Structure 1
């Protein structure tokens, strides 16, 4: 049973898509196609407004390309509660998964994890992702401090996160968050909260071996593949 997944980069940066293609390995019998938003989509998504602009450009482009008929599922590679997840879902019952949702599922399903936080690109995302955690878990307006600490930003552009010359800065920032700001929390997991961080999990794991770094795109692929397989085998269309 072959599975076709469309990996959607909802911004217009080909660099981000190329990095995703480089680090992702398809599970057995799974085929990836990588989509990059049109030139009129934002180059990077750094908050609510660019997320809305992205959805307004990408949704009609996807529908024009008739992707719903061509693929079994869709991975939305913007680490947020991106509008495209919901608007595309109005056009199909096929599985659609955002990479943020995939990491939150992983963290909640893993009882061995003590305390974690989301590592994001720029500070504009911090309150938005903290609220997204609240909304996803369904704790009204109370932040779930038993499992999570507040989101922290590197203040590195999405387009620069994969640059080798930025890694020393990223590592120093993570060290400060873990060993200074959150020293009393005994952080043992960090969710890499941006598609532009794809591939950083292995580098950061070497620098901080006591911490699990969860690549949102890799875990998203695994969850989405499982959902598609389950639906194909158990859900009548």
Structure 2
């Protein structure tokens, strides 16, 4: 009997660019809750691996300096080890305009150039896809927005959204409700802060975002928020009422990124001339 190999698994590396193993563990728990062995992946299985930044990466990425430090440390570590040659795609699990997305996109993986995105970019695309409305709909447009950690990220992420969507700061984006911060750090979600404080600050920031109009999609603007969807859901119900609040989409960027990379790798294999 002769057998012919037709497909191979897609291998995705989910990359935590900080040095916190506990934060990587939170990302892993979010991935385990995705139900990857569903109908969408029967034709082509997906293997997902995680990576934590080396010790010289910051333990928590809280500002622009931390972003650059983590980018340099991780890039040196990965390119020096040859690790990336084992993978088809990489997800940068830091909710920022992270330089690693662009830097790693030029490198080669297991089958040609790596497919790379960040949880920031994937969350934008997921939100916009969920808010698509019929062209003749005359109701006010529904919106999406971001709940994040420290004040620094409000301007950083707003500018990042404008750049990603090709708009300038003077333009009015009817679909983007903006960014609200909790005053916490990414590390606070994994120890050091009373859970009741985290809960209240996250609820308060979510309600400020929801008060900006018909916000139907809330993005968790930090990988460290993985698993805290119920706090945001409760805030939405308190703000909008049970019926409307229970329908709000809550986007986990890691889940959005894994799903996007799976489909992008399949599209690349199907449509790219070889």
Give me the TM-score of the superposition, normalised by structure 1. Answer: 0.90
Distance 1:176 1:43, change over 3 A: closer
**Are 1:94 and 2:114 counterparts?**
yes
For residue 231 of structure 1, report the CA deviation from its aligned partner: 1.2
Cα deviation code 1:134-157 (max 9, x no counterpart): 101111223543011221111112
Partner of 2:271: 234
Distance 1:30 1:116, change over 3 A: same
Partner of 1:57: 73
Measure, in 1, the Cα distance between the counterparts of 2:27 and 2:209: 31
**Are 1:16 and 2:23 counterparts?**
yes
Partner of 1:225: 262
Measure, in 2, the Cα distance between the counterparts of 1:6 and 1:122: 27
CA RMSD of aligned residues (A): 2.2
Measure, in 2, the Cα distance between the counterparts of 1:181 and 1:82: 24
**Are 1:43 and 2:63 counterparts?**
no
Partner of 1:4: 11
Measure, in 2, the Cα distance between the counterparts of 1:178 and 1:41: 30
**Are 1:105 and 2:125 counterparts?**
yes
CA contact (8 A) 1:115 1:146 kept: yes
Give structure 2 stretches of 5+ with no counterpart. Answer: 1-7, 38-44, 134-140, 238-244
Measure, in 2, the Cα distance between the counterparts of 1:161 and 1:143: 34
Measure, in 2, the Cα distance between the counterparts of 1:195 and 1:178: 16
* Aligned mate of 1:30, from 40, 46, 52: 46
For residue 129 of structure 1, report the CA deviation from its aligned partner: 0.4
Distance 1:179 1:157, change over 3 A: closer
SS of equivalent residue, structure 2 residue 178: coil
CA contact (8 A) 1:15 1:159 kept: no
Partner of 2:96: 80
Measure, in 1, the Cα distance between the counterparts of 2:87 and 2:93: 16
Give me the TM-score of the superposition, normalised by structure 2. Answer: 0.79
Distance 1:192 1:166, change over 3 A: farther
Q: State the aligned residue count.
A: 237
Give structure 1 stretches of 5+ with no counterpart. Answer: none
SS of equivalent residue, structure 2 residue 269: helix
For residue 42 of structure 1, report the CA deviation from its aligned partner: 0.8
Distance 1:137 1:6, change over 3 A: same
SS of equivalent residue, structure 1 residue 116: strand
**Are 1:131 and 2:186 counterparts?**
no
CA contact (8 A) 1:5 1:74 kept: yes
SS of equivalent residue, structure 2 residue 197: helix
Partner of 1:140: 168
